[in-house]
């Protein structure tokens, strides 16, 4: 399974976390937000992760614009992290691009990856 890290902040940290929780079953590459969103659009990768200070702007904007909002979700924004069950159901409902606040990376990535790997 191919996962791209787009977004803006802490890309290397995100990639490390995804590799760690991907249990050897995912291939992670770091790209610019535009290139990463294009990779999802053209099916070269299955999932997009991005982080920024608001969890929605730099993190996810290009994915929303190029892939479409129906495939994207901000799983954490300032003042609110989605409940674990909410995140799991977002993955189950076919969301492909995930944006979050950079500080929440270690809280949300394990949940998303766990649910993705169940598929």
> Using CB under 8 A as the criterion, which residues of the chain lie in contact with other proteins when the complex forms?
8-10, 32-35, 38, 41, 52-62, 64-66, 68-70, 74, 77-81, 99, 101, 103-104
Question: 111 in helix, strand or coil?
Answer: helix
Tell me which residue has tokens 């590799």: 19
Q: How far is the CB of 27 from other proteins (least distance, A)?
A: 16
Q: Where are the alpha helices (DSSP H) in the chain?
A: 11-21, 33-41, 61-67, 84-92, 105-118
Nearer to other proteins, 24 or 79 (CB): 79
Nearer to other proteins, 8 or 48 (CB): 8
Nearer to other proteins, 30 or 117 (CB): 30
Q: How far is the CB of 36 from other proteins (least distance, A)?
A: 11
Q: Is 10 exposed, middle or buried (0-12, 13-18, 19+ CB in 10 A)?
A: middle
Tell me which residue has tokens 């290139």: 35
Q: How far is the CB of 114 from other proteins (least distance, A)?
A: 18
């Amino acid at each position: 399974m191919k996962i791209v890290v787009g977004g803006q902040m802490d890309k290397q940290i995100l990639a490390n976390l995804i590799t760690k929780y991907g249990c050897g079953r995912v291939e992670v590459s770091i790209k610019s937000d535009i290139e990463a969103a294009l990779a999802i659009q053209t099916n070269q990768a299955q999932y997009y992760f991005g982080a920024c200070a608001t969890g929605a702007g730099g993190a996810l904007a290009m994915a929303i614009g190029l892939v479409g909002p129906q495939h994207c979700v901000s799983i954490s924004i300032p003042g609110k992290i989605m409940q674990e069950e909410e995140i799991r159901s977002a993955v189950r409902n076919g969301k492909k691009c995930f944006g979050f606040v950079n500080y929440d990376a270690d809280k949300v990535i394990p949940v998303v990856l766990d649910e993705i790997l169940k598929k």
